[in-house]
Amino acid sequence: MLRLVLPLLLLAAPAGALAQSAQCSLPAQMPRPRPDLPNADQPRRLLPIGGYTLALTWSPQYCKGAKGSDDAFQCGGRNGRFGFTLHGLWPDGIGKDWPQYCRATDLLPRPVIRQNLCSTPSAQLLQHEWAKHGTCMTTKPELYFNLSRALYQSIRYPDMAALARRKTLTVAQFAQAFAAANKGMRADMMRVTITRDNGLNELWLCLDRTLEFARCPAHQGGADDRAALRISPGPNIPNPRRTPPVPARRPGLILDLDPQAEVHKD
């Protein structure tokens, strides 16, 4: 059985530090997602975990697209103004394939959606991330999202407004600026994905099995370092003055990462 020892502090991190959103107000009624299930194109896959990817979406670019035009919560401006949002924490395999849909799932409880909707502003995406990725890491959605959110809130950002004003910017230059804002990170520890017209789409941060930043595998994909990059302007969101403590590598809560473990009924 594969186990990962993590500090209790990391998994219990509060949801209040919303450095990535300029404003976020939750709706009175929590949206309800649809079930997210494996299918012929996205089958259940039980594989050992070799590392992780923390995927962040640049919300201003998403809101310019067709999907964003129909997304009132994330893109309408009344409930939130977002910079980088949390797409998800993905367990990677040892090779090119990765584990997914490891356990059957129910719909996420409303309190879980409420706690995470300002980080991942879509109830359906939260359901998808738990069903596809989180079930391969733990038996409880609260543990998966607490860990994902803690990692997300530990990330620091370069001056995105200044980068958006640059007349010439490459993927490599953006990666170097992003790495410089985060202790222990290098440009080769991330992958940048872009749209067809070279807009900043997502940032994938590569982590090893101990959740430390790590060099991305060659098959991870992403845009060529030399590609031109455009950043859609977004809200000016300064990093908090206080940096969250770096999780200590000491015994704490043991997160069960065995995808074949049985779910214990309460």
| pLDDT grade for 245, boundaries at 50, 70 and 90 | low
Residue 250: predicted pLDDT: 37
Quick: pLDDT tens for 98-131.
999 999 999 999 999 999 999 999 999 999 999 9
What pTM did the predictor assign? 0.87
DSSP label at residue 204: E
Q: Any idea how long the chain is? A: 266
Q: State the Cα torsion 101-204-47-106 to the nearest 10°.
A: -20
Residue 254: predicted pLDDT: 40
Instruction: State how far the Cα of 60 lies from the Cα of 67, in Å rounded to an integer.
Output: 12
- pLDDT of 229 above 70: yes
List, in order, residues 6 or more apart from 215 with CB less than 8 Å away: 186, 188, 189, 206
Residue 241: predicted pLDDT: 67
Quick: pLDDT tens for 47-74.
999 999 999 999 999 999 988 888 999 9
Instruction: State how far the Cα of 250 lies from the Cα of 7, in Å rounded to an integer.
Output: 6
List, in order, residues 6 or more apart from 110 with CB less than 8 Å away: 30, 32
User: Is the C-alpha dihedral spanning 209, 212, 216, 220 positive or negative?
Assistant: positive
Write the single-letter amino acid at 32: R
Instruction: State how far the Cα of 239 lies from the Cα of 94, in Å rounded to an integer.
Output: 34
Quick: pLDDT tens for 146-197.
999 999 999 999 999 999 999 999 999 999 999 999 999 999 999 999 999 9
